[in-house]
Structure 1
Amino acid sequence: MKSVYQLFCPLLRLAAPGQLAAAATASLTAAICALGLMGAAAWLITSAALQPPLAELALGITIVRTCGIGRAVFRYADRWFSHQLAFHSHTQLQLKLYDQAAATLPLRTGMASQGLWLHQLTSSCQTLREFYLRALLPPIASLLLSLLTSFVLFGTIGTVSLLLPLLWLSHLLLPCLLETPHGAAGGQAKAAYRSALLDAASGQAELLVAGSLPAVQSRLAALARQLRQEQQQGQHQTLYSDLLLQVLDALVLILLLASLTSAALSGTQTFIELTVWLFLLLALQSEFQPLAAAARAFQESQQAAAPLFSVPVAATCPPPASAASSPLATAPLLAVSHLTFGYHEQMPILHDISFTVTAGAHTAILGDSGSGKTTLGCLLTACWPVPAGTIRLQGQDSTSLSPAQQREYFSAPLQGCDLPAGSIRSLFLRLIPGISDEAIWHSLQVAQLAAVIGKLPAGLDSPLTSSAGNLSGGERNRLLTALAIARPAPILLLDEPTAGLDEKTASALLTAVLDELDEKQRTLLIITHDPLAAARVQQVVRL
């Protein structure tokens, strides 16, 4: 587990130094004005009781007005600077989140884990926005005030004045020691209840038919009770620590007043000064009140920072090479050696896979569903790092290439990939900027889709919904094939291109693709479980 320093140091580096200094200064000055207002008001009231000439009270009246106006102005400045700081840092956190997600996704542990991880990151980002407002600035201002007050009082009451910094420390430590962090309290119970509730809602019809709905409702009720109990336990802990802090506040105030009263009785200070100190101490203790909330916010921020500043091990990408070695002219186009991979370490999907593909030697990856064919495609295109074994492209080890460099060797629409909404032309332009309409129609013709698109009223400008949802499954597969054909790359990697096609169309598609690749001197790597498709190529790798 990372230390507190390792977790929060990146957060502090994200903050603009000028904004942080301005917010801290405004917060401290506002607190000083609040104490000055209370002290000046106490002096004015007690002095006025002695009925002095009005001129003697003029200074006190001026200080009261100045401190009152100053408190309002600097409170506003504190809010403005602190919110500027929080939103600036939140923006930087979001940019870091986007960069981290772009470099990490997809996770090998699957879509559910991926969604959970993204939800954790975004919610953590929202929590850390409050770090600067609640967990950082209030403790700094109140600490400086307590040290300053203790220093001034030390000459009058000695070491008793050190109770103020100790009280400040108690307001921060007691919530951490006595309370379960709010993010953890009920966290697992909340997740279990939410998951069970979503499952029950999505499968309600099936549960009714099977007669299992009462059992599911009973389980939901039990999870709700557990969640409520954990939340109530957290509330009781908060009430207990708040009560204990109030008792400590009262005891410290009594001890300080007793020492100050003794000093007044001995003539070290006047009773007017005693009254002023009473009001100042009350005002200082009011500055301590947000500290318990700051301690809780600090714990929540610590939990939120952990996932944000750590990347799942399974998603780590290989580092780009400082200098890639020159390709060997005699090396095979693709060489896979002793490749082993699993989404879970104890359950490898691919085990000790080895094969080579020379330029022009069209190859089929043949296997049953679940044998790891698409996973192999993801490894070849650098979606995930290779944990064991090697992948060489024209003699270069994939670990010496950046993911972008490795993907330059492939044109590949893998199974399950999404397509953005837009026109057919915009999809091609997004993948290959500047592609001509003639090249688009040629790719569609090879993919056996030109006739279908040609019948649409808008042709290439025909709109497609997200992921081409308004096309049939076979048409969508052929569109993915056309997009891959249009992108020039040495290896065309097709994942089940004949899925959803009748035998005649599938045969025509494979014939056209092979003729196109032979003409352009490119190589086909086809992932399939269809023996008829595998029979059309020069070599077959069985998984």
Structure 2
Amino acid sequence: MIFGAALFLAALAAGLALMGASGRYIALSLLGGGVLVPAMLQYIGAARVVLRYLERVFTHEAMFRALAGLRIWLFTGLARSAAGGLGYRRAGDALARLVNDVDALDGLFLRIFLPLLGAVLLTPVLAVLLWHEHPWALAVLLPFGFVAFYLPALAARAAGQNGARAGLAMSGLRSAALDALSGLREVKIYAAEGRMLAAVQAREAAYLAAQRELAGQTSALNAIAFIAAQAGLLLAMLIGLAGAPVFTVITVFVLITAFETVLGLPRAGLLYGQARAAAARVVEAATAPPAVAEPLAPVPMPAGNSVAFEHVSFRYADNLPFVFENLSLQLPAGSRTAILGPSGAGKSTIAALLLKLVVPQRGQIRLGAADLAALPSEAVRHRIAYLGQTTHLFADTIRNNLRLGDPTASEEKLWAALEAAQLAQTIMGLPEGLDTWLGEGGQNLSGGQGRRLALARTLLSEAPILLLDEPCAGLDADTETEFMKVLNTATQGRTVVLIAHRLTGAEQLDRIWRLTGGALMAAAG
């Protein structure tokens, strides 16, 4: 960016030199009947073209790299603050921040910073030039400053509210469109196309209204800036009539370049207003704190893999009832435990507590000999592999979906995990094998095959503790029974915690607890 700014200033200097020299020779030719234009002008003109080209190449490359880094930073912040999912943040809103808001920052350097830097450096240059023409010519700095500084500041203030409205409108539009596309099957079943389309169009109208307002402001500011620039040139010519005509022509030519450099700044002010609102939304999302704060003085990860809930009480908010109180549960290393119960009993809350997505109000959870609260969240989640009822399969190849569990896994390790999940033969039968494209949500696999692929990915992590939260939800009885047989075979040697609402397949585990009314009761021994 610094090199790009240097190229911009060099191109601007070449432009000023070219216009000043051109003005001088044109004036002399008019007064003297003809003057040979030196080759120097050709070199300056060529240098200006080359410098402008290089400046665009380097500044655009710098911005693309900066925006790429910014998106990674934003995604990392979203992942850190939403380890348990987006929570109350809508997917459309997160997408709008990742795409539209970051794109809105594209012009900060190219359209705002560089022209503003040029205006700041041009001001003393013009002051010296105008003073040499005539002291009264300094009055031309008034329209120049009006265009370069006042109008952009005015525009930035005006566009601030517009940018916030446009950002919210785009977020709503993306959310509505994603809802309609994600639920297209239900939309067709209930013949709700008209209603969904109306919702999308209403949000689109709000976004277009904000865009129209911005376009109107841009047109008005461009007109005012153009009139002010022409007034400044006219004033320079009128004042220069009393002085040397050659120097007056040089001054006017230089002023043309100077005003050309800053004429885009009023529009840049509008862009700045929008960019400022976008930047606030990006920073807010990227710096949002995680639901569970990291320990100030984390302790080393313990060697043991036993888990113990000791008199744990938890509720999601102060005005809500406790999900459970004084709950104690021992999960020895290598044990295979099922926690059963109806929906809403708090089974998934136990999983969330164990993964440090929430923290108990009272009591303690221990991993090995260490207090879970004193352990880094990332290290805890490396120790505990999770397979839930809504485990996502990405629109990618089978290979890349598996490597989410272990990015460095070899071909042999991938096949071993598939073999353990009893899916290897199915994948071998596909024309492209591991490189088969799954489609969105793994739509090219059946429900049971998708769950087995998710299980294989979980097994790849080699985590000693497996947390399985309703892994058979949505499967028919036969598929569920077959999946549980695979699960019991594939997870031998690890600590297994199975959370489910019925007993299918849980008979093969060591311990079975039933969670009812916030209390655990032994269902079998």
TM-score band by shorter chain is 0.7 to 0.9
Is 1:304–2:285 an aligned residue pair? Answer: no
Is residue 2:11 matched to residue 1:39? no
CA change 1:224–1:275 in 2 (3 A) is same
The total of aligned residue pairs comes to 502
AA in 1 matched with 2:152 = L
Q: Report deviation, 1:406.
A: 0.8
Structure 1 unpaired stretches of 5+ = 1-19, 445-449
Confirm or deny that 1:149 pairs with 2:126: yes
Of 273, 294, 307, which residue of structure 2 is paired with 1:319? 294
Q: 1:8-47 maps to which residues of 2 (within 5 A)?
A: 20-47=1-28
Identify the residue that residue 355 of structure 1 maps to in structure 2. 328
Q: In angstroms, what is the RMSD of aligned CA positions? A: 4.6
Letter in 1 for 2:307: L
Amino acid at match of 1:49: L
Asked if residue 160 in structure 1 is aligned to residue 132 in structure 2, the reply is no
Match of 2:107 among 105, 109, 130: 130
2:523 equivalent in structure 1:
none
**Counterpart for residue 522 of structure 2:** none
Q: Deviations over 1:245-299 (max 9, x none)?
A: 23333444444445444xx3xxxx4232223222322332122212123223323
Alignment map for 1:354-433 (pairs within 5 Å): 354-359=327-332, 362-382=336-356, 384=357, 386=359, 388-389=361-362, 390-419=364-393, 427=402, 431=406, 433=409
User: 2: distance between equivalents of 1:406 and 1:205?
Assistant: 39
Indicate how the Cα distance of structure 1 residues 439 and 190 shifts in structure 2: closer, same or farther if over 3 A, else same. Answer: closer
Q: Contact 2:20 / 2:253 at 8 angstroms: preserved in 1?
A: yes
8 Å CA contact 1:481, 1:494 repeated in 2: no
The answer for the alignment partner of 1:51 in structure 2 is: 32
Matched, 1:526 2:498: yes
Q: How does 1:282-293 map to 2 (within 5 A)?
A: 282-293=256-267
Change (3 A) 1:429 1:153: closer
**1:227-242 alignment, distance < 5 Å:** 227-242=207-222
Give distance in 1, aligned partners of 2:26 and 2:487. Answer: 98
Check whether the contact 1:333–1:358 (CA below 8 A) recurs between aligned residues.
yes
Question: Do 1:335 and 1:393's aligned partners in 2 also have CA atoms closer than 8 Å?
Answer: no
SS in structure 1 opposite 2:342?
A: coil
The aligned residue for residue 279 of structure 1 is 253
- Does residue 294 in structure 1 map to residue 268 in structure 2? yes
* Distance in 1 between residues matched to 2:214 and 2:419, nearest whole Å: 66
User: Which amino acid in 2 is paired with 1:36?
Assistant: A
1:78 to 2:55 alignment: yes
Q: How far did residue 393 of structure 1 move?
A: 1.0
Distance 1:429 1:184 in 2: 36
Name the CA distance, whole Å, in 1 between partners of 2:392 and 2:116: 48
Using the alignment, how far apart are the partners of 2:205 and 2:477 within structure 1? 55
CA distance in 2 between partners of 1:397 and 1:152 (Å): 73
- Give the residue type in structure 2 aligned to 1:285: F
User: For the residues of structure 1 that align with 2:13 and 2:500, how far apart are their CA atoms?
Assistant: 74
User: Cα distance 1:65–1:472, how it changes in 2: closer, same or farther (>3 A)?
Assistant: closer
Distance 2:382 2:205 in 1: 55
Identify which range, 485-494 or 296-305, moves more after superposition.
485-494
**1:356-406 residue CA offsets vs partner (Å, 9 max, x unmatched):** 314166543333234443353244234x35374553212322232223321
Contact 2:387/2:471 (8 A) holds in 1: no
Task: Give, in angstroms, the shift of residue 135 of structure 1.
Answer: 1.8
* Aligned pairs for 1:203-218 within 5 A: none
Amino acid paired to 2:278: A
1:206–1:378 distance in 2 versus 1, CA, 3 Å: closer
Unaligned residue ranges in structure 2 (runs of 5+): 519-525
List aligned pairs for 1:504-519, cutoff 5 A.
Answer: 506=481, 509=484, 513=488
Measure the CA separation in 2 of the matches of 1:345 and 1:109. Answer: 22
Give yes or no for the alignment of 1:69 onto 2:42. no
Q: TM-score, normalised by structure 2?
A: 0.76
- Tell me by how many angstroms 1:149 deviates: 1.0
Q: CA deviation at 1:140?
A: 0.9
What is aligned with 1:113?
A: 90
Give the 3-state SS of the residue equivalent to 2:31 in structure 1: coil
Distance 1:189 1:183, change over 3 A: same
Does the 8 A contact of 1:335 with 1:355 survive in 2? Answer: yes
CA contact (8 A) 1:107 1:315 kept: no
For each residue in 1:420-441, what CA deviation from the matched residue of structure 2 results, as whole angstroms up to 9, or x when unmatched? 6656999499649467699758
Asked whether the 8 Å contact 2:339–2:500 carries over to 1, the reply is yes
Question: What is the CA–CA distance in structure 2 between the aligned matches of 1:411 and 1:288, rounded to whole Å?
Answer: 57
Q: Structure 1 length normalisation: TM-score?
A: 0.74
Cα drift, residue 528 of structure 1: 0.9
Contact 1:409-1:489 within 8 A present in 2 as well: yes
1:147 & 1:74 partners in 2: Cα distance? 23
Provide the secondary structure at the position in 1 that maps to 2:497: strand
After superposition, residues 335-350 of structure 1 pair within 5 angstroms as 335=309, 338=312, 340=314, 342=316, 350=323
Alpha carbons of 1:387 and 1:162: their partners in 2 closer, same or farther (altered >3 Å)? farther
Secondary structure in 2 aligned to 1:50?
helix
Q: Find the aligned partners of 2:301 and 2:405 in 1 and give their Cα distance.
A: 30
Distance 2:415 2:168 in 1: 57
Q: Is the 8 A contact 1:26 1:77 kept in 2?
A: yes
Question: Aligned AA for 2:330?
Answer: V
Partner Cα distance (1:26, 1:437) in 2: 51
Whichever residue aligns with residue 527 of structure 1, its letter is I
Q: How many Å separate the matches in 2 of 1:425 and 1:51?
A: 76
**Counterpart residue type for residue 216 of structure 2:** H
User: Contact (CA 8 Å) 1:34, 1:71: kept in 2 or not?
Assistant: yes
Verify the 8 A CA contact 1:492 1:525 in the aligned structure 2.
yes
Q: Deviations over 1:116-158 (max 9, x none)?
A: 3144123333333332221221221232112211133346316
**Aligned position for 1:9:** none
- 1:98-125 Cα deviation digits (max 9, x unpaired): 5445544545444972453144123333
- Give 1 or 2 for the bigger CA radius of gyration: 1
Cα distance change on mapping 1:171 and 1:357 into 2, 3 Å: same
Q: Which amino acid aligns with 2:497?
A: L
- Tell me by how many angstroms 1:44 deviates: 1.9
Q: Does 1:495 align with 2:473?
A: no
